[in-house]
Amino acid sequence: MTQTLMYIGNQVRRLRKEKKWTLLELAEKSGLTLNYLAQIERGEVNVSIGKLEAILQALETDWSYIFPHIKLENQLQQEILLKVMEMKEEASFRLVLALIRELEDVVETEDYALKSH
């Protein structure tokens, strides 16, 4: 069980509970089994991109709920995030997410500088 899987599971559980859904309701809406969803929420399984996307669609939300610090403003950004999610090593995954955060900070700083002049 990794920190990333625990984080994803906690985010899924939080959103499900915000909607006041049971695991059974989410299973019916997502097409996944109740046991598998319970394992995801506990961070016990390495959830695939496709299955996580099915969960997010069932919950009527997008990737930004799982990764709120990443603004998915266009298709390219969504595709990049999907590729990052496919990384097998958690260290690589965390490094790429940290780089994305840093780049966002640089872009925001540059946007602010441009607006100031």
What is the percentage of the chain residues whose pLDDT exceeds 90? Answer: 36
d(C-alpha 114, C-alpha 26), whole Å:
46
**Mean of the per-residue pLDDT values for the chain?**
78
More confident residue, 110 or 73: 73
Domain 3-116: give its CATH architecture.
Orthogonal Bundle (1.10)
pLDDT tens string 36-80: 999 999 999 988 888 988 999 999 987 777 766 555 566 666 666
pLDDT tens string 11-36: 999 999 999 999 999 999 999 999 99
The one-letter amino acid code at 9 reads G
Please state the domain extents for the chain. 3-116
Residue 116 in this model has a pLDDT that exceeds 60: no
pLDDT at 20: 95
DSSP state of 45: S
d(C-alpha 78, C-alpha 95), whole Å:
18
